[in-house]
Amino acid sequence: MKAVICGTTGYTGMLLLRILATHPDVKAIIPVSSSKAGGKVLDADPGLSPVILEKLEKTDGCLVTVQEAAALKPDVVFAALPHLASAAILEPFFGRCVVIDLSADFRIPDPAMFAKAYGQAPPRQDLLGKAVYGLAEIYTEDIKKADLIANPGCYPTASLLPLFPLLKCGMIQGDLIINALSGISGAGKKAAENLLFCERTENAGAYSPGRTHRHTIEIQKEADLAFAAAGKPGSGGAEVFFTPHLIPVKRGMSVTTTVNLASGITGTDVRACLEAAYAGRVFVCIEPARIPQTRDVWDTNRCDIGFHTESGPGNKSRLFLFSVIDNLVKGASGQAVQNMNIRFGLPEATGLSLHGAL
């Protein structure tokens, strides 16, 4: 299999290089960079072993342009590109190979919702209906047939994996209160004052709270679909209130979601629902006896999920869901490779790590 990586020199693209370098079914990697085309891959990323050059033979170990990559007729393209720019750069590949886009350009099928989240119309509205949302454990069957896969954001991945089965089973009522903590790498590899070491170290805080963060719309869209599957059209009256926080770590994401349980639903029901939903799925681990931590999933494609229930007045019970991922792996590059594996009929875990780094 020949794989193109567009946006190779960012964190997401660099991690894709590392994963695909040891993926047994990827025989050739074609690295693309608009700003560094012609340069040596090992100069751009000295962290790579020279062993990767075996898979870079088609470009002589160099970064190439989009046009050069398209001429090599790849089987799959990973786009680790900025939101609103990705679709235009991917033009030579649509309809010619499988495209897995890690930007937001195809995640929201409704143009009005997209414009609300990103401030303008979707760049390729004509392709929105063809894109499959790449939340791998939820949309597996659709991904198997898709030629355009919209890889979810890291915040929606960590938030939705514990929520979606419970919403679909009708176990949750009322609003969804989501608080998420993210490592700094979630902002990408860019120069920005608020991301400087002296600004972030020993410092944590919220930003874009409530309904103001653009990922809120992505999460709300999926919550509405899950409610509809439970026979509750719209969103069952539930709104997503999402507050992200930056914390002084490089990578890792921890999400706590607070919801009300439907009448009569117990912690035993919650556990049974989650375990049934993810039976046989190696990348989702249900941990009812403990609260997972980010270090458990460093450098893995796992999402570990825990929960806690408390009884309240009037027979109302509250559920606390805890989920952790590595935002660069399950939240980006790892899930993209997982989607490739599903799409090409490979074992889902091929080339991906199950065990956390020490």
Catalytic residues: 154
The residues, any chain, with a CB within 8 Å of residue 197's CB and separated by 6 or more, are none
Closest C-alpha to 265, from 307, 316, 231, 199: 316
Q: How far is CA 134 from CA 138, 157, 221, 318, 334, in A?
A: 8, 10, 14, 30, 12
At 208, list the tokens: 């874009």
What is the H or E stretch that residue 310 is in? strand 303-311
Distance between CA atoms of 237 and 323, rounded to whole angstroms?
A: 24
At 331 the three-state DSSP class reads helix
Nearest CA to 3 out of 340, 321, 269, 252 is that of 340
Rg (CA), the chain: 20
134: tokens are 């790449």
Strands 253-261 and 284-286: unpaired
Strand partners, 306: 322
Instruction: Please give the helix or strand (H or E) that residue 114 lies within, else none.
Output: helix 111-118
Per the DSSP assignment, residues forming a β-bridge with 260 are: 173, 318
Q: Which run of H or of E encompasses 175?
A: strand 172-182
CA dist., res. 265 & res. 268, Å (int): 8
The conformation of residue 64, written as its DSSP 8-state character, comes to B
Going by their DSSP bridges, the two strands 284-286 and 303-311 should be labelled as: parallel
Query: Given strand 2-6, what is the order of strands in its sheet?
Result: 28-32, 2-6, 76-79, 98-101, 148-150, 132-133
Question: From start to end of 50-125, where are the E strands?
Answer: 76-79, 98-101
